[in-house]
Amino acid sequence: MTKADIISDIADKTGIEKAAVQASVEAFMKSVKKSMINGDNIYLRGFGSFIVKRRAEKTGRNISKNTTIIIPAHFIPAFKPAKTFTEEVKKNVKKVKAA
């Protein structure tokens, strides 16, 4: 599902114009990004949390040059789904046929 699909789905279900829904979705995403850049986590009860994770410094390898490199400590954005959300997905996702 793409952002356009989400906007269309919300517009269809609420009767709100797509332009207004798009502005709301964009504002939500911008707010989440800004908060996470500032180091703040976002908690949405029943849905999940957008959290900032710290990755420690580590040693890596550049296999093409066969050299060791140091990867500095850094922060990454992450999403942790709420327990109820996870349980609902486990129960309701249709079985995918193995290829």
Beta strands in 1-99 (DSSP E): 42-44, 48-55, 58-62, 67-71, 74-81
* Residue 95 confidence (pLDDT): 65
* Residue 11 confidence (pLDDT): 96
CA torsion 36-52-50-91 (nearest 10°) is 170
pLDDT for 66 beyond 70: yes
pTM (whole model) above 0.85: no
Q: How many C-beta neighbours within 10 Å does residue 85 have?
A: 14
- DSSP character for 13? H
* Residue 91 confidence (pLDDT): 86
The CATH superfamily of 41-93 is: IHF-like DNA-binding proteins (4.10.520.10)
* Residue 7 confidence (pLDDT): 96
Of residues 97 and 75, more confidence is placed in 75
Angle, helices 18-37/3-14, rounded to nearest 10 degrees:
130
Give the CA distances from residue 85 to residues 9, 54, 57, 79, 94, in Å, rounded to whole numbers and listed in that order.
19, 24, 33, 12, 15
For 4-14, what is the mean pLDDT? Answer: 96
